[in-house]
Structure 1
Amino acid sequence: MAGSYVAFELDDLETKHAAAAGPYSEFLRRRGMSLGMFTLSPGDEDTQHPHMADEVYIVLKGRGTLRVVDEDVEVKAGSLISVDHGEEHRFVDIAEDLEMLVVFAPPDTED
């Protein structure tokens, strides 16, 4: 069934993301969800704002802290964290370069 799926290789996504401007780059958008890659390095300021969509972070590499409202969650490679739509959140205290896949459901709207 041509057209009923899309396959990606992580190496290709990393290469495309490295060429993109900014820490987030979306690589798939469907009616009910979107996928993107998000990277932050030690010293970076995470300037994201609450989203209109539910969100899942899948940490591929690195270590840091995700602050959700007033609670800190330590994250590392292998961590999966879900953040409800509308919740204030940002990454702080990034100890090692973070590389994450991000799922928005439904797709987040652009500002």
Structure 2
Amino acid sequence: MKVFRLDELDAERAANQGAYLRFLRERNISAGLYALSPGESDTQSAHEQDELYQVISGRAYLTVGEETATVARGSVVYVPAGVPHRFHHITEELRVLVVFSPPEA
């Protein structure tokens, strides 16, 4: 079993001065913590893996393909592999748990 604390993961991510911290990589799955501040740009591109987002805190819009939705704490979003997507109009510090399957490279 592996147990993680979001506050510790966020501190590690911030110490490494990056928006993304991958904290788990296994044979069939990987996971990370993604953080963006208000006004910051989400520069990610489409991934080769299916992706699941769970918003831990914050508020923003998320565009996946041609669809846009408001996301906030408690939102869970599935993003199919190969589909362009990005967070934008971030109004509160955004923290997102990201799960990839198969694992990201």
TM-score (norm 1): 0.90
Are positions 1:97 and 2:93 aligned together?
Answer: yes
Could you tell me which residue of structure 2 aligns to residue 54 of structure 1?
50
Query: Gaps (5+ residues) in structure 1?
Result: none
Displacement of 1:7: 0.9
SS of match in other structure, 2:63? strand
Query: Gaps (5+ residues) in structure 2?
Result: none
After superposition, the C-alpha distances for 1:16-69 in whole angstroms (9 at most, x for unaligned) are 111123211100100100010000111111110000000011100000000111
Could you tell me which residue of structure 1 aligns to residue 40 of structure 2?
44
RMSD (Å), alpha carbons: 0.9
Aligned residues: 105
**Distance (whole Å) between structure 2 residues aligned to residue 38 and residue 96 of structure 1:** 14
Q: Say which of 76, 82, 90 aligns to 2:78.
A: 82
- The percent of aligned pairs where both chains have the same amino acid is 46
Larger radius of gyration: 1
Moved over 2 A (4+): none
Q: Say which of 2, 9, 19 aligns to 1:6.
A: 2
Displacement of 1:72: 0.6
TM-score (norm 2): 0.95
